[in-house]
Structure 1
Amino acid sequence: MADEQPGNEEFIIDRSNLYIEESFTDLKTGTIKRLTPVKADGSEDKSRKTMFVGHTSIMTPNGPLPIQNVIGAKELAQAIKKFPEALQEAMDRLIEEVKKYQEQEQAKIQKPESNIIIPGR
């Protein structure tokens, strides 16, 4: 996207990065998506690895907050086992990002200068 102005996006599908997406859910905690690489003709692309991505939402005072993370797994059973750890990692990163953002915002707040004269300074 050469031009960063809104409305100038290029909606072009990357034919070399296509995946078939399958979803597995327990209808309570979250969803695991299996992304199987395919070629532009729809046939499986054996030169790339299948990926698993975990999705869930946590409730906040402002409503649901979606969280997702890649799960390092080779098969669905392994992805199910690793789901809690992968989503906890995503949650921890999110918390760290929020803390950094809050610190940046606090630093922007102008603090009134004190006109108190301290002897010895």
Structure 2
Amino acid sequence: MTEEVKTEAEKGQEQMDAANLFREEIYTDRKIGVIRCLVPVTAEGKVDESRKVIYTGEAQIMTQMGALPISFDIEADNLAAAVANYREAAKAGVEKTMKELQELRRAAASKIVVPGQPGFTPPEGAGGSGLVMP
């Protein structure tokens, strides 16, 4: 049985917002990280002076599982200010990510596991004929 896969746009549920378009510019020092500038543009591709440029930063932190990408907003009115504010914004982004990871760990640790549910593993040495009592 073959089912055709359609994107949300093909289903007619989503469409690009012509009033909210941005051109993306990427800047890097090839050492520390990346700054993305989202420049507001009109549907014709001209810079939309009525909206503010958005600056975001990207960095990676090394974990036991490998590199973890971190994205964060940078408060700035121009690229020079975004470069100057990168360090503090990155620090705040890493702290926020670490708090979110700790919360996920707490939620996973406090989850009640009931025999018979997916994810339940009987304790080692508990026997186990594979029968589950109703």
- TM-score w.r.t. length of structure 2: 0.71
Distance in 2, matches of 1:100 and 1:7, equals: 35
The Cα shift of 1:12 comes to: 2.4
Of residues 18, 27, 31, the one that matches 2:30 is 27
Which residue does the alignment assign to 1:64?
67
Aligned-pair Cα RMSD in Å: 1.9
User: Sequence identity of aligned pairs in percent?
Assistant: 36
Paired amino acid for 1:56: A
Deviation digits for residues 42-95 of structure 1 (CA, Å, limit 9, x no counterpart): 011111001111111122221211111111000111101110111111111111
Q: Check if 1:9 corresponds to 2:12.
A: no
| Structure 1 residue runs of 4 or more that deviate by more than 2 Å after TM superposition | 6-12
Relative CO higher for 1 or 2, CA cutoff 8 Å, sep ≥ 6?
1
Aligned to 1:86: 89
Match in the other structure for 1:114: none
Partners of 2:106 and 2:58 lie apart in 1 by: 28
Task: Give the residue type in structure 2 aligned to 1:17.
Answer: N
Aligned equivalent of 1:101, options 88, 100, 104: 104
1:99 CA displacement = 1.1
What is the CA-CA distance between 1:8 and the residue it aligns to? Answer: 5.8
Inter-partner Cα distance in structure 1 for 2:18 and 2:66: 36
In the alignment, which of 40, 50, 62 is matched to residue 47 of structure 1?
50
Once residues 12 and 46 of structure 1 are traced to their aligned partners in structure 2, the CA distance between those partners, rounded to angstroms, is 24
> Partner letter of residue 25 of structure 1?
T
3-state DSSP of counterpart to 1:66: strand
**For residue 77 of structure 2, what is the aligned residue in structure 1?**
74
Deviations 1:6-63 (A, max 9, x none): 9662352221111111111011110111111000000111110011111111222212
TM-score for the superposition, normalised by structure 1: 0.79
Which stretches in structure 1 are left out of the alignment for 5+ residues?
Answer: 1-5, 111-121
* Corresponding residue pairs, total: 106
